[in-house]
Amino acid sequence: MEPPKVQPSMHAHLTQQELSTLQPIIQRYHQPMHPPTSAATNTCTSLMVQRIEAPAAAVWPIVRAFDRPQTYKHFIRACEMVDGNGGGVGSKRRVTVVSGLPATTSVERLEILDDENRVLSFRVVGGDHRLKDYVSVTSVNEVISDVNSSEVYCVVLESYVVEIPEGNSWEDTRLFVDTIVRLNLQNLRNVVMANSLHGCEGLGNLRICDH
């Protein structure tokens, strides 16, 4: 089965207002998802969209913290830096995933950390799992509300390219990875919402308090 092209289905989920803001970012960071090589037939790509009712200043610090993915990523139990401190391209981290997955660890290299456009990208370079050559790009985009122009919210985009593991189909791979990414992005929204509720930043701990 021919993999569907990313663009039309994705655009269907975005409003005109969002699209005009996001177009340059999509073209620059989320578009080169179909590498023009023969290997392309063996890769799976996708793009996920998550809206968060908060300004980028509340979302980007969480996403950009390459050394602390467990703040919002669902299946990550621990993270240690194995090269650099996460502040620049080339830093590497080793994440340990929770049990029950077909994986234990993943070694990941920071490929893009762009504070101006709020874009982070990493590549899987090792570890014990089945997602070879996984590369993702996450961008945090602030959009002006078309209901009330003094309000802003975020559209977080996450695209990925991954090699289809031997013995798996394109559909299996896409379902597996889309599910992980969707959960991560939903959790990111929950963390941002919990932070704004408690007037604190970057912690992501939901605490019960009486004020």
Residue with smallest beta-carbon separation from ligand A8S? 103
Does 92 contact ligand A8S by CB under 6 A? no
**The only residue of 110, 124, 161, 191 in contact with ligand A8S, by rule CB under 6 A:** 124
**How many residues make contact with ligand A8S (CB under 6 A)?**
17
Query: Which region, judged by CB under 6 A, interacts with ligand A8S, from 9-17, 60-68, 96-104, 192-200?
Result: 96-104
Q: What DSSP state is assigned to residue 96? A: E
3-state secondary structure of 95: strand
Is residue 88 within 8 A of residue 64, CB to CB? The reply is no
Does 131 contact ligand A8S by CB under 6 A? yes
In angstroms, what is the minimal distance from the CB of 129 to ligand A8S?
4
Give, rounded to a whole angstrom, the gap between the first and last alpha carbons of the chain.
55
Does 101 contact ligand A8S by CB under 6 A? yes
- 118 class by beta-carbon count within 10 Å (0-12 exposed, 13-18 middle, 19+ buried): buried
Q: What DSSP state is assigned to residue 134? A: -
- The pair of structure tokens assigned to 42 is 């063996």
Is residue 146 within 8 A of residue 116, CB to CB? The reply is no
In angstroms, what is the minimal distance from the CB of 76 to ligand A8S?
6
Show the binding pattern over residues 163-182: x = contacts ligand A8S (CB under 6 A), - = does not.
--------------x--xx-
Does 102 contact ligand A8S by CB under 6 A? yes
Does 75 contact ligand A8S by CB under 6 A? yes
Indicate left, alpha or beta for 127 from its phi (over 0: left) and psi (-120 to 50: alpha): left
**How far, in Å, are 32, 137, 153 from residue 28 at the CA level?**
8, 11, 21
Q: Which residues bind ligand A8S (CB under 6 A)?
A: 73, 75, 95, 97, 101-103, 106, 124, 129-131, 136, 177, 180-181, 184
